[in-house]
């Protein structure tokens, strides 16, 4: 993915000015910076949810983007497995269960999101990103609500599943950056 | 076991029947207010008459047909309005006008265009159409924006978005419209039949009872209209609960 001389902001509030970034396949970057500096906005631009005011952005995969949003955004009327099947309709039940097991969710396939704890729902959102298996993975605070054990488990899962993908993550803690083996970048202040 | 609901169920209608009996005695004129016993007797007698079943069958069939047509078109137009907002803006005043217009105005207008027996189909259709359109449109408009963004990022197919995002958002609103709409359609449809003197219908029987001043008949037919209305509503609630468990609408 290539972001070239991107300028973006909302009326009365500029967030990015002449921002460039190259994210080749197999590389993981961690976007760090103070709250409100535009980290989530950068991910939204990379996901195609926002259009830059100027500059160019290339490399959004045609199959879609594996994204873990700040909120879990699971479909409440569908079970965990159905949520995964939604983004990967051709995958078998067995293949989808194989995504849940390494995250400690082997028994939760037929549960509805409302029946899950916050940490479980977060891991389902991570499993859904893996179910699509895009060549671009965007993670917005992916480890929120996870205890240290599950944080390590989720990071190992993501590293393995997205080994050859371009990965951009908004992370809060330095240890999370290390868990993902990411290179840190900052959004320059305006 | 809680006996109060059972007692209530048994005694409250009994108390109302007693009040009705008292009022009838007080009025003392069957032409103005018949007593409950002759009315109940007439209702029992009607059950044995072929014309009763024919009238009920025809009225139910036509009104339900109009109801189903209204539901189908209302849903279609709501989807069209969601996909193409100018269509929604175009339809809004027409739907508001249909909702605000008295049934009698439609009946009189429709009598010029339609035969009496088809009128109740048209009237019940008109009662349901704006209700289903408005409720379903509201449901679609209230679809979760965050889920829609997720669907965009993951490139979900339009069918998947419909199933996962729009349908769950619209369903409670639609089900609520179905419950309320069936009662509207039934009452307005019967009113249409009375005004149109639709052959072989409950409305026609009401009309004939009124013109011949057969008050016992008038009350008996009205009793059946109420019973059928309750049966339709309960049937609809049971059907929706079976098809969409936990989402029957409020």
Disruptive mutation site among A1, A40, A77 for chain B (greatest number of B CBs within 10 Å): A77
A32: CATH: 3.40.50.300
Q: Is A143 among the domain residues?
A: yes
Q: Is A172 among the domain residues?
A: yes
Cβ separation B155–A64 shorter than 8 A = yes
Sort out which chain A residues have CB atoms less than 8 A from B149's CB and list them: 49, 69, 73
Report the pLDDT averaged over residues B219-240. Answer: 92
Report the pLDDT averaged over residues A90-97. Answer: 96
Could you say which DSSP state residue A57 is in? Answer: E
Beta-carbon contacts of B42 under 8 Å, excluding residues fewer than 6 positions away, are B216, B217, B219, B220
Q: What is the pLDDT of residue B246?
A: 64
Question: Given a cut of 50, is residue A86 above it in pLDDT?
Answer: yes
Q: Compute CA distances B45 → B36, B38, B217, whole Å.
A: 14, 10, 10
Among A189, A157, A164, A187, CA closest to A45: A187
B95-112 pLDDT per residue, tens: 999 999 988 888 888 888
- Please tell me which residue, A10 or A134, carries the higher pLDDT value: A134
Cβ separation A76–B155 shorter than 8 A = no
Q: What is the pLDDT of residue B241?
A: 84
Strand pairing category for A13-22 and A2-10: antiparallel
Q: Residue A18 is part of which domain span?
A: 2-74+132-186
Cβ separation A65–B154 shorter than 8 A = yes
Rg (CA), chain B: 22
Sort out which chain B residues have CB atoms less than 8 A from A71's CB and list them: 146
Q: What is the pLDDT of residue B57?
A: 95
Q: What are the tokens at B196?
A: 């149109």
Q: What is the pLDDT of residue B4?
A: 65
Q: Is A76 on the interface with B (CB under 8 A)?
A: yes
For residue B202, name the pLDDT band (cuts at 50, 70, 90). very high
Question: What CATH class has B55-243?
Answer: mainly alpha
Asked if residues B165 and A75 have their Cβ atoms less than 8 Å apart, the reply is yes
Give the span between the Cα atoms of A86 and A96, in whole angstroms. Answer: 11
B39-76 pLDDT per residue, tens: 999 999 999 999 999 999 999 999 999 999 999 999 99
Q: What is the pLDDT of residue B245?
A: 72
Q: What is the pLDDT of residue B199?
A: 87
Q: Report DSSP letters for B71-93, one per residue.
A: HHHHHHHHHHHHHSHHHHHHHHH
Q: What is the pLDDT of residue B237?
A: 86
Question: Given a cut of 90, is residue B6 above it in pLDDT?
Answer: no
Question: Given a cut of 90, is residue A104 above it in pLDDT?
Answer: yes
For residue B247, name the pLDDT band (cuts at 50, 70, 90). low
Cβ separation B150–A69 shorter than 8 A = yes
Strand pairing category for A2-10 and A54-58: antiparallel
Question: Given a cut of 70, is residue B249 above it in pLDDT?
Answer: no
Q: What is the pLDDT of residue B157?
A: 95
Q: Is A171 among the domain residues?
A: yes
Q: Is B159 on the interface with A (CB under 8 A)?
A: no
Question: Given a cut of 80, is residue A106 above it in pLDDT?
Answer: yes
For residue B250, name the pLDDT band (cuts at 50, 70, 90). very low
- With a CB-CB cutoff of 8 Å, which residues 42-81 of chain B face chain A? none
Would you tell me the crossing angle of helices A93-100 and A80-87 to the nearest 10 degrees?
110
Cβ separation B160–A89 shorter than 8 A = yes
Q: What is the pLDDT of residue A145?
A: 93
ipTM of the complex as predicted:
0.95
Phi, psi for B199 (deg, rounded to 5): -60, 145
> Cα torsion for B155, B157, B158, B162, to the nearest 10°?
-100
- As for how many domains chain A has, the answer is 1
Q: Is A77 on the interface with B (CB under 8 A)?
A: yes
Give the span between the Cα atoms of B7 and B110, in whole angstroms. Answer: 47
Give the span between the Cα atoms of A31 and A42, in whole angstroms. Answer: 9
A2-60 pLDDT per residue, tens: 999 999 998 888 999 999 999 999 999 999 888 888 999 999 999 999 999 999 999 99
Half-sphere exposure of A84 (CA within 13 A, CB side): 28
Question: Given a cut of 90, is residue B3 above it in pLDDT?
Answer: no
What strand order describes the sheet that includes A66-68?
A66-68, A136-140, A166-170, A28-32, A183-186
Q: Is B113 on the interface with A (CB under 8 A)?
A: no
The contacts found for B106-110 with CB under 8 angstroms, 24 or more apart, are B106/B192, B107/B191, B107/B192, B107/B195, B107/B196, B108/B195, B110/B192, B110/B196
Report the pLDDT averaged over residues A125-130. Answer: 98
Q: How far is B144 from chain A (nearest CA, A)?
A: 9
Q: How far is A64 from chain B (nearest CA, A)?
A: 5
For residue B248, name the pLDDT band (cuts at 50, 70, 90). low
Give the span between the Cα atoms of B235 and B227, in whole angstroms. Answer: 12
């Amino acid at each position: 993915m290539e972001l070239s001389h991107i300028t973006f902001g909302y009326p009365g509030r500029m967030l990015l000015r002449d921002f460039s970034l190259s994210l080749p396949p197999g590389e993981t970057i961690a976007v760090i910076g103070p709250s409100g500096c535009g980290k989530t906005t950068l991910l939204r631009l990379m996901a195609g949810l926002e259009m830059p005011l100027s500059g160019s952005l290339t490399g959004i995969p045609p199959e879609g983007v594996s994204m873990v949003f700040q909120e879990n955004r699971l479909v409440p009327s569908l079970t965990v497995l159905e949520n995964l099947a939604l983004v990967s309709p051709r995958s078998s039940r067995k293949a989808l269960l194989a995504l849940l097991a390494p995250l400690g969710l082997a028994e939760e396939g037929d549960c509805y999101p409302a029946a899950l704890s916050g940490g479980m729902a977060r891991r389902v959102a991570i499993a859904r990103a893996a179910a699509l298996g895009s060549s671009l993975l965007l993670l917005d605070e992916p480890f929120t609500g996870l205890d240290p054990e599950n944080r390590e488990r989720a990071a190992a899962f993501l590293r393995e599943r997205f080994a050859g993908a371009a990965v951009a993550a908004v992370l809060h803690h330095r240890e999370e950056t290390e868990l993902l083996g990411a290179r840190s970048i900052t959004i320059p202040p305006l | 076991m809680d006996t109060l609901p059972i007692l209530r169920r048994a005694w409250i209608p009994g108390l109302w029947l007693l009040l009705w009996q008292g009022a009838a005695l007080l009025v003392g004129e069957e032409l103005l207010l018949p007593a409950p016993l002759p009315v109940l007797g007439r209702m029992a007698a009607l059950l044995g008459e072929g014309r009763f079943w024919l009238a009920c069958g025809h009225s139910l069939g036509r009104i339900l047909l109009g109801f189903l047509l209204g539901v189908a078109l209302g849903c279609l137009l709501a989807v069209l309005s969601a996909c193409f907002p100018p269509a929604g803006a175009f339809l809004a005043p027409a739907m508001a006008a249909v909702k605000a217009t008295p049934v009698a105005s439609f009946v009189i207008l429709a009598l010029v265009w339609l035969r009496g027996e088809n009128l109740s189909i048209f009237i019940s259709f008109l009662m349901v159409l704006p209700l289903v359109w408005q409720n379903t449109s509201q449901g679609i408009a209230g679809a979760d924006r965050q889920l829609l963004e997720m669907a965009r990022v993951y490139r979900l197919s339009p069918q998947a978005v419909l199933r996962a995002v729009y349908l769950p958002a619209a369903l409670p609103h639609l089900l609520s419209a179905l419950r309320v709409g069936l009662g509207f359609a039934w009452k307005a449809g019967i009113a249409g039949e009375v005004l149109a003197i639709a052959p072989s219908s409950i409305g026609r029987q009401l009309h004939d009872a009124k013109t011949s001043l057969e008050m016992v008949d008038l009350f008996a037919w009205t009793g059946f209209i109420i019973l059928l209305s309750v049966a339709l509503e309960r049937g609809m609630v049971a059907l929706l609960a079976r098809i969409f468990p936990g989402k029957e609408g409020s």
